[in-house]
């Protein structure tokens, strides 16, 4: 397994994954903005195939996870944990003190993953996300590293 920064040339493959795993996927423009900004955009490759990616942002001594996704057919095999461990490793290298992320309250897979890696629920932003029927809460989670 390899971790590499992703670039515009990788976006066709990444967009395919993004649209299959998210109800409200990031657009190509969202990814391009992140690549052009100071966000760290990296992908996980297995046998030269992109199977996941993450976008993280460093602000002072905080690391914010903006996107973390694993290709549908590769989920529940431990790769999400590998990707999250890489996020935590990079946050440590950047001397972040805390990693923050927001997750839909219905996203049990992701909440379980974060929980397993020591993240704690810090607060709930009510009706934060668009949802199929109305709005949905965001759970703000954090990990002190």
> Which active-site residues does the annotation give?
102, 114
Nearer to ligand COA, 96 or 138 (CB): 138
Round to whole Å and give the CA distance between 78 and 24.
24
Nearer to ligand COA, 103 or 143 (CB): 103
Length of the chain, in residues: 145
Work out the burial of residue 137: count CB atoms within 10 Å of its CB; fewer than 13 is exposed, 13-18 middle, 19 or more buried.
middle
- H or E element at residue 93: helix 79-93
Helix axes 11-21, 28-36, angle to 10 degrees: 130
Q: Hey, is 16 helix, strand or coil? A: helix
Q: Is 85 in the site for ligand COA (CB under 6 A)?
A: no
Q: Which of 69, 87, 91, 99 binds ligand COA (CB under 6 A)?
A: 69
Q: Shortest gap between Cβ of 76 and ligand COA (angstroms)?
A: 4
Q: Is 108 in the site for ligand COA (CB under 6 A)?
A: yes
Nearer to ligand COA, 30 or 107 (CB): 107
Q: Could you list the residues that contact ligand COA (CB under 6 A)? A: 21-22, 68-70, 75-81, 101, 103, 107-110, 112-113, 116
């Amino acid at each position: 397994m390899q971790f590499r920064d992703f670039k515009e040339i990788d976006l066709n493959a990444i967009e395919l994954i993004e649209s299959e795993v998210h109800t409200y996927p990031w657009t190509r423009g969202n990814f391009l903005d992140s690549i052009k900004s100071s966000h760290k955009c990296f992908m996980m490759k297995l046998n030269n195939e992109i199977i996941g990616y993450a976008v993280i942002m460093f602000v002072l001594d905080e690391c914010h996870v903006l996107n973390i996704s694993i290709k549908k057919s590769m989920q529940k095999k431990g790769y999400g944990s590998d990707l999250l461990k890489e996020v935590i490793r990079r946050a440590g290298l950047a001397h972040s003190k805390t990693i923050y992320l927001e997750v839909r309250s219905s996203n049990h897979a992701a909440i379980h993953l974060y929980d397993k890696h020591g993240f704690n629920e810090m607060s709930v932003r009510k009706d934060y996300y668009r949802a199929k029927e109305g709005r949905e809460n965001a759970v703000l989670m954090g990990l002190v590293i």
